[in-house]
Amino acid sequence: MKIKIRGHLWDLLAFRRLVPNRKRRIARSRALPLGPAPMNVLAGQLHPERQQLVIANIRDETATCKTFRLVPDADGGTRRLPYFRAGQYLSLRVRVDGVRITRPYSISSAPFESLGEDGFYEITVRRKTDGFLTAHMWEKWQVGTRIQSSGPCGFFYHEPIRDAHKIVGLAGGSGVTPFRSMARAIVHGGMEAELLLIYGSSDQGDILFYDELEELARQAPDRIRVVHVLSCEEVTRPGCEQGFITADIITKYADVGDSSFFVCGPPIMYRFVEEELTTLTLPPWRIRREGYGEPEDVTIYPDFPSHLASETFQVTVHVGGLTTQVPARANETLLVALERANLAPPSHCRSGECGFCRARLIQGDAYIIPDADGRRAADKEFGYLHICASYPLNDLELGVARGP
């Protein structure tokens, strides 16, 4: 095989032709500017900064839970819904009593149901006692109500490269919603995995999607199994375990050594299940946790300075070209304080995970929830924090991004 080698003269000749060739190509080009790159258009469709949605249906699931079906609001500019991964959430942006807030809710419908002109999302919400947004939902939301949300967000989904083929879902209360999405995706062929769902509820009347989950397990008995664990004193439903989701119950049903564990539920369930999982000596990468939002009581953390819990501090906030002062209680997150002042900072997960509410701590001290500190190492070194997981310990000064 002969290799032809061109010398320096050839290189010089090619260089001389470079500029004339470029001028000829420019002369032949279109006079009109190019439109947006196709990949950028596709990225915007798959990951929109915001969506305009409208409520198409409201369904009562239990005495305290409702399912809201959301469809595109074409009049608002959203014509189709982006695809998502089973287990992701929407961050809703709602104005309540003149205050703009965000709240994340797992998508309980399956990814394939979002496709096409008739695509929809479903979120299933439990009404909280004294809940700020849920009370508004129950009283104000009806068919036809328009809502703004983020695109699908979050990392609580099965990734075959990272996770085992077998999933053990540990759910509590309304934390079953992402697993309903996964189960529907598995049955309809959009997700290659096996799901063992161990679902804890306070009593039989509090179980979400009982009939549907049983039907999905019947349709795919080799890929879906559901175990109900009831904490009430008397259990009459056949096949249910009594008590809480303990290590004994997990090992009774799960292939512990060959499974990935996904945990979603209220904070009190997380703390209990975390202790049970430590006895199984699982590697950290086999356990995935869905963010559960701000804790109801930050004083449960041993290292939180409880003597400051009733104190109120002043936070100087720089946002855009505005500088203002906001009162903030030590037992509430900085995000809540800024929302109450109607500054509407950007936020999605409210669990310290996504970094959307990242802000610069210019001066002062803040307590950061240890198990919700999702900051990068560089942010820790250079004084950035996630205001959804940070509490003021004295007067602060913050640089905050402008909300969308």
104-117: average pLDDT: 95
CB 222 within 8 A of CB 234: no
What are the tens digits of pLDDT across the range 2-36?
A: 545 566 777 777 788 888 888 888 888 887 777 88
370 sits in the region (left: phi over 0; alpha: psi -120 to 50; else beta) called alpha
CB 137 within 8 A of CB 66: yes
Distances (CA, A) of 199 to 6, 159, 213, 310: 72, 22, 11, 37
Distances (CA, A) of 246 to 178, 199, 253, 326: 21, 12, 11, 44
What are the tens digits of pLDDT across the range 176-186?
A: 999 999 999 99
CB 76 within 8 A of CB 146: yes
What are the tens digits of pLDDT across the range 317-343?
A: 998 888 999 999 999 999 999 999 999
Give the per-residue pLDDT at 7.
Answer: 66
With vertex at residue 33, the alpha carbon angle to CA 32 and CA 35, rounded to the nearest 5 degrees, is 120
Q: What size, in residues, is the chain?
A: 404
Instruction: Give how far the C-alpha of residue 23 lies from the chain's centroid of Cα atoms, to the nearest Å.
Output: 51
Give the per-residue pLDDT at 94.
Answer: 92
Domains and CATH numbers, the chain: 46-149 (2.40.30.10), 166-289 (3.40.50.80), 299-400 (3.10.20.30)
- In this structure, of 132-136, 218-222, 253-257, the range with the lowest mean pLDDT score is 132-136
26 by Cβ neighbours in 10 Å (0-12 / 13-18 / 19+) ranks as exposed
Instruction: Number of helices (H) and strands (E) in the chain: give both, helices first.
Output: 9, 19
93-113: average pLDDT: 92
User: By three-state DSSP, how is residue 359 classified?
Assistant: strand
Give the per-residue pLDDT at 1.
Answer: 46
- 275 contacts: CB under 8 Å, gap ≥ 6: none
The neighbouring-strand residues paired with 148 are: 52, 93
370-383: average pLDDT: 91
